[in-house]
Structure 1
Amino acid sequence: MTKIELSGRLICSTSSQTDAVAEHLALHTELSRAEEGCIEFFVRPTSDPLIWEVSELFSGQEAFDAHQSRVQSSVWGSATAGIERQYSIRAVED
């Protein structure tokens, strides 16, 4: 089965953006990990307080697409909409 992996960085440009990440990250992580098909989901701070490391793994394209759709209409999606994302998405074979 082909899994979908997203990795990269969430790059804040202001302290208000980092505040938004900090405020909404716990619920976003909880909801994401509870989604059907979510195998792994991490958003971690780095040594730079404006940059967060992102790592996601979903069981397939359908689960990944459902996650992306949920995020777009979520509080997290609204609160972090202006934050730069540098992501790489790839298919991973078992």
Structure 2
Amino acid sequence: MSGEVTLTGTLTCTCEEEAVQVRASLPEHIALTRAEAGCISFDVLSTDDPMVWSVSERFVDAAAFEEHQARTAGSDWAARTKGIARAYKIEGM
């Protein structure tokens, strides 16, 4: 039996066009992720820098986290934010 998996870090845009893509697709991405059975919490919050978002995710276990990753891989969010820098730390895997 595996324990909780957490992901923390940042999503950093390099230009306003990338930031527009994040802002446009983020509400649906958050809603779909929070609706996943294994999601404990999921927050992507703007920071003082309009090009940087703080990311914090918690899933009940590795299987739930992996299901989330698989779902998002083919999502509108993934397509619209492809190439945007992510610096994440994953614990519990």
Please indicate, yes or no, whether the TM-score normalized by the shorter chain is above 0.5.
Answer: yes
Post-superposition offset of 1:91: 1.3
Aligned length: 92
Q: How far apart in 1 are the matches of 2:49 and 2:36?
A: 29
Q: CA deviation at 1:82?
A: 1.1
Distance of 2:31 and 2:38 partners within structure 1: 14
The structure whose residues are more often strand, as a share, is: 1
Secondary structure in 2 matching 1:2 = coil
Q: What residue is the counterpart of 1:67 in the other structure?
A: 68
Give me the whole-angstrom Cα distance separating, in 2, the residues matched to 1:64 and 1:36. 10
SS in 1 for 2:41: strand
Distance of 1:25 and 1:37 partners within structure 2 = 19
Gaps of 5+ in 2: none
What is the aligned-residue RMSD (CA, Å)? 1.1
Q: Deviations over 1:20-79 (max 9, x none)?
A: 000000000000000010000000000001000000000000000000011110000000
Aligned to 2:4: 3
Distance 1:47 1:89 in 2: 24
TM-score normalised to the size of structure 2?
0.96
Give the gaps of 5 or more residues in structure 1. Answer: none
CA distance in 1 between partners of 2:16 and 2:80 (Å): 13
Distance in 2 of aligned mates of 1:65 and 1:3: 12
TM-score (norm 1): 0.95
What is the match of residue 79 of structure 1? 80
Percent of matched pairs sharing the same residue? 40
